[in-house]
Each structure stands twice: as structure tokens, then as C-alpha cells.
Amino acid sequence: MMNPFLLLLLQNDMQRLTRQSGELIKTCSTLLLDSSDTIKEEAFITICDLLVVFSRQIGINPMLAPLVYEPSENMQNMLSDFVQEHVFIEEEEEGEYS
């Protein structure tokens, strides 16, 4: 059995991590909408990395379940829009202008 004091410390650390990761995702979401292309790309990568780290799979361990981050539908749409606008774009032929 785990020491109650240690368990309390772990719970406090997990709450802080949950809060801080949520704040980072929120900040990156703002940057994804209102920044230069380079910053938007870094914000997108950071959000995706955090979504992988804090995905449902870590919830398999009951101690880590509180860390699972479920992106909102708005967040999912924003990431999808970014991919469509910045990843899946046709490259222009040399000398061809739009």
C-alpha cells in the first residue's frame, strides 16, 4: 500500500500537470489562430504532441487516468482546418501563379 503522504503529493503533482498542460494547449490554440506561419506550425506540433502524450491510452493506468485530455470538437475542427490549409495544399507549377 502506498504511503498516504506520497499519494497526496502525487495527486497534487498530477493536478498541477493537468492544469499546466491545459493552459499550454489553450495558449497554443490562440497562437494557431493569430500568428505567423512559423509560430502556427510550432503551435500545431505542440498541441499534437500533447494530445498524443495525454491520450486515452494513458488512462489504462488508473493512477494516470486524470491526466487524459479529450480535445473539444472545436479543437478537433481547428486542427483539421490547419492540416487542410497548411499540409494538404497543391504545389504550384514553376512559373504558374494563382
Examine residue 90 and state whether it is found in any structural domain, yes or no: no
Per-residue pLDDT band for 2 (boundaries 50, 70, 90) equals low
Examine residue 28 and state whether it is found in any structural domain, yes or no: yes
Residue 31: partners with Cβ closer than 8 Å, 6 or more residues away: 39, 40, 42, 43
- For the beta carbon of residue 18, count every other beta carbon within 10 angstroms: 15
Number of domains the chain is built from: 1
8 has a pLDDT exceeding 90: no
41-73 per-position pLDDT tens digit: 999 999 999 999 999 999 998 888 989 999 999
Examine residue 85 and state whether it is found in any structural domain, yes or no: no
What is the average pLDDT score of the chain? Answer: 87
Q: What is the pLDDT of residue 76?
A: 96
Q: What is the pLDDT of residue 96?
A: 53
Distance CA 35, CA 12 (A): 34
21-44 per-position pLDDT tens digit: 999 999 999 999 888 999 999 999
Examine residue 98 and state whether it is found in any structural domain, yes or no: no
Q: Please report, for residues 46, 54, 55, 82, the alpha-carbon distance to residue 63 in angstroms, rounded to integers and kept in the order given.
A: 24, 13, 14, 34
5 has a pLDDT exceeding 90: no
Examine residue 95 and state whether it is found in any structural domain, yes or no: no
Residue-number span of the structural domain to which 76 is assigned: 18-80
Q: Please report, for residues 16, 20, 37, 51, 89, the alpha-carbon distance to residue 97 in angstroms, rounded to integers and kept in the order given.
A: 50, 44, 20, 37, 14
Q: What is the pLDDT of residue 88?
A: 76
